[in-house]
Amino acid sequence: MDINIYALICTRSKDLSPTAQKLVSYLSRANIKVKLIVGAKSIYSGYSRTVKKINPNPNDIIILCHDDIEIISSPESFKEVLISETLKQDTGFIGVAGTTKLSESGVWWDQNLWKQQYHRGFVLHGKDIKTSASTYYGVYERVVVLDGLFLAATAKTIEKVGLDKPSYFEGEWDFYDIHYTYSAHKQKLKNKTVPIFILHNSLGELAGRDSWHKNRLAFINQNKTKFPIIC
């Protein structure tokens, strides 16, 4: 089967950071077609518009990822996991961290749920591999929603879910990961955490901004009769 893999990366400037340059180089070595989305006004429209321009085949794979990550897995094992997991029947999105239970907080990394062992996946956090801290969330398996630092799905899944911003969201950059992956879950597609090893330079500082809270509350109000959401 001839499958194209595309990586869509939103970035503020064409002058890429050293981390972003390293990411693009890694993906290129893995024969993945990199599509930089520079200076977009919205992550939703940036992703949606770019996928439409690509016009992928149904089994092509679309990666949506941050520009401040480093993929530690070898290119060979990365692609093997990517292809084998996304092409399984009824797969929604795959990622590296998520939760099997989404509470009324709407926050996937809810500390109380973490203590109750509902979270899944593994991520390294830090500026470089030598000084990074490992964050183990739980064993790899199916989840309700995934973190947006790295998401991947087939083009046919992307088409089913849709990448446009829902009308009830105000912020242009927030809660897209929860919206996308929960939309897949609602369609009975299986989201899962998988063993792709990633170093994330961010600890999630943007989660405190007003637009994040507004979108979180909008998501909660939209789904208030459904919590807790469990797979």
Residue 79 has pLDDT above 70, yes or no: yes
- The 10 Å Cβ neighbour count of residue 139 is 11
The range of the structural domain enclosing residue 47 comes to 5-230
Split into its structural domains, the chain has a count of: 1
Q: Is the peptide bond before 228 cis (omega within 30 degrees of 0)?
A: yes
Residue 173 has pLDDT above 90, yes or no: yes
Q: Which residues pair with 125 in a beta bridge?
A: 133, 200
Give the pLDDT score at 108: 96
Residues 6+ apart with CB under 8 A from 88: 190
Distance (Å, whole) CA 61 – CA 46? 17
Res 206 pLDDT > 60: no
Pairing mode, strands 97-99 and 145-146: antiparallel
Bridge partners for 101 per DSSP: 230
**What amino acid is encoded at 9 in this protein?**
I
- 89-106 exposure pattern, b = at least 16 Cβ within 10 A, e = fewer: eebbbbbbbbbbbbbeeb
Assign residue 53 the CATH number of its domain.
Answer: 3.90.550.10
Q: What is the pLDDT of residues 40-65, one digit of tens each?
A: 999 999 999 999 999 999 999 999 99
